[in-house]
Amino acid sequence: MSANGPKSKSSAPDPEDNRVRLQKAMAKAGLGSRRACEQMIQEGMVSVNGSVVRELPVLVDPEEDLIEVRGLELPRGRKLAQPGAKRAIYVMLYKPRKTLTTLDDPGGRRTVADLVDHPSGARLYPVGRLDYDTMGLVLMTNDGDMANKLTHPSYGVHKTYRAIVKGLLSDDDIEGLERGIYLAERKSGRTTGAVRTRPARLKIIKREPTRTILDVTLTEGRNRQVRRMLAQAGCPVRKLVRTHMGPIRLKGLALGQWRELTPAEVQALKRAATQGERTRRKGRRERAT
């Protein structure tokens, strides 16, 4: 690699140097699959030694060349080449239907782990659950502390779902669902009582003669909660997609695809978790007085 820019795509690799394809170096640094990295390059998000790269193939030396993605520098030298190095990884997946939000299924059904093959080899865990037949945003990470803060109801990190339901949801129905309704609780396969849902937010997007489209925002994640709430109001769900988790919005992905969160998205998540922790501590102090 020259100091003035990337090698031209006509350059042949020298077996004695350390050059690799640019998308391979990016994938090894944990920026996503090679295909996703190729797309970032073609969209002009990547520069090598100060020159924006849009056409492939391009050969780079990960130990010497300055590679920047969205203005952020990739680590060079040994930092990039340590496959066992522990770093926090945050991945957004657009989960399709008929996919389990777990790492393994004895019955052989598809899981989110089957869809996310991170080049670092890190074991990534889904943050919370998303129903088998519900599509949308699933976060996966190896940061256990962050995962706990994003899923525990006491931290109050919201999740938003776009629902298409059968029938017309009235204003009275919306008011009742927002205040909270009682849903059965089950343990070990048995109903143990009913617990009231936490306050929710519902926003009607569109009312049609035979269906209603709305957004539902929750701060808890009980089993099939959105479906059960809307069914109790007489409007069974026909399609459900999770669109937000806290400040993170599902975007930039086709169904079944994944990508790493941007640095800005990671920082936004951390701020939301920190704010939730402060609110939790304040609540504890108020209950203690």
Q: pLDDT digits over 12-68, tens only?
A: 444 446 789 998 888 777 666 777 788 888 888 888 988 999 999 999 988 888 888
- CA 121 to chain CA centroid, Å, is 18
CATH code 3.40.50.850 for 90-261: no
- Secondary structure of the chain: what % helix, strand, coil (to 5)? 25, 30, 45
Angle at 26 between CA 23 and CA 29, to 5 degrees: 150
pLDDT score, position 154: 74
Give the three-class secondary structure for 259: strand
Cα distances (angstroms) measured from residue 120 to each of 22, 124, 150, 243 = 16, 10, 23, 27
Cα distances (angstroms) measured from residue 79 to each of 2, 30, 123, 126, 262 = 21, 12, 20, 27, 20
AA identity, residue 266? V
pLDDT score, position 140: 94
Nearest Cα to Cα of residue 65 among 47, 83, 79: 47
pLDDT score, position 193: 86
Q: Is the pTM of this model over 0.95?
A: no
Residue 56 gets which letter from DSSP?
S
Token output for 167: 């029938």
Could you tell me where in the chain the CATH 3.30.2350.10 domains are found?
90-261
Residues identified as active-site: 131
pLDDT score, position 283: 57
Neighbouring C-beta atoms of residue 214, cutoff 10 Å:
20
Cα distances (angstroms) measured from residue 250 to each of 93, 103, 105, 137, 138 = 8, 21, 25, 6, 9
Of 46-60, 146-160, 163-177, 229-243, where does mean pLDDT reach its minimum? Answer: 146-160
CATH fold of 20-81 reads 3.10.290
Looking at residues 145-160, what average pLDDT do you find? Answer: 83
Residue that wins the pLDDT comparison between 93 and 65: 93
Could you tell me where in the chain the CATH 3.10.290.10 domains are found?
20-81
